[in-house]
Structure 1
């Protein structure tokens, strides 16, 4: 019997075709469609594919009596009620590892663009301003990069930055044993005081809300740049806007926002801010990998085997 999948995230047609070939797909990519799908089909749903931002609640789990697998498309799962799923005997998995390289590439692209002021230099050329009238911007060699959250993605970011000659430090809840020469800092503010630039790569949730706040930004200093590819909640947007306006830091490059999917209004008019639409983990290769990973987890569950990427 074909299993019924509630799909809560938008997926390109070429990748959705992989799901359509295997499951009866109920497509519900927005709040209205989601509510309608649950009202009409809750009793039929075997599988749910969502992501960390969109999530799936305890109340929604409770109305799906056949549900056996709740899956996050990417690595994040902060808005999935994992405890409620487990209490109901529902297996839970995520897409750990499927888009790590894509996110790390995007983080380095944002950092390079911010430190080298690529948008500003492009605007200058279009305005007829040549290099002699522009300030000089630093290159990466010898700069200190602080990574907040040295997990799988954080390590890939650090490796890429090290290849550019950057010196790596990091902040985690506890030090890791596999970090080579990277320096450990037990507080984010201490890391910021040491670093020239910060990349936020930590999981979202209450424990990391505003881990980059006014104190951390002040410690980073006037030459520092901040990149966030984690969750919007990790940076205090108001504090960031104030620091940028006052020149207390040099620039910011963000893929995620506290207000998303709405843009961060306080940052929109600032010339030293680069914004992308929560796209760091999206590439043809990575999205296909997330879908294939979900299918592999569903197949493993059907066979009574261990999930590939369990939570």
Structure 2
């Protein structure tokens, strides 16, 4: 990927070399810092800032430049993300040479559709929508996390292992989730697994859950953001769709103990009722910090050493932060950008010699 990131269109973005001091290079950082959907920026942004410090203190990377992040809050919302991006790109006090983000596919899709018009590469640390794999629409978009359709191979293998032949799907409308569900249906049918019913909902999943129940389907895969997952499980509890007779397969990017959060989506269920409804669900997630891996990375840190430094950086409150499981991607994304810019700078200096 780095060879692509170092294309000639990037070379013209670098500010000319100054022999007096290091020249600041600004990355536009799009992070979901607030909002009801997934404010995971509270953990991802500190990880990125930690990486910026490590890059700037490394004598072998971008020796003539100082990396900086221009932070913009996307609220995990398409409208807010585009507005934040445009506002920062038109801010003439700083020139942005890269776009980093967004965290949610909802906000990444519209920004990635526009950022290339500024001839800017956009790198996301966590957007998983398969929609973003279309290079004709998002030509300068890259990401560190695999698209959601990749996990469908594991879900299908999981169903086959237990011999389950009938399944239902449930999702929110829109490309973020529907593309993954559509791919799941195709792969399921190819392996002899029948998708009996495939439902979408926008606010209240009651009707869709009742229909799934009427069809007699006990294996249910749903793809939504966390607040809507609480709606589904609360409604499933009231419909009696839980316990040993039901298998729920859900997304793996939710925060720890996500079902305990009290909001308008779970107001009709107690924590104990939510515990009963969610008990035994299955999810698939990439482990960003493999336990026991002491291999030194390009940053000079092992996974364990990064974890120690990050926890210290956030005042030993890492386990309290939303999105902590994805935080390492925030760190790695800065190093990816730094290495790309470093190589671009090397090529630019070579061209000056001509």
- Bucket of the pairwise TM-score, normalised by the shorter protein: 0.3 to 0.5
Q: TM-score, normalised by structure 2?
A: 0.43
Q: Name the one with the larger helix percent.
A: 2
Higher radius of gyration, 1 or 2: 2
Q: TM-score, normalised by structure 1?
A: 0.47
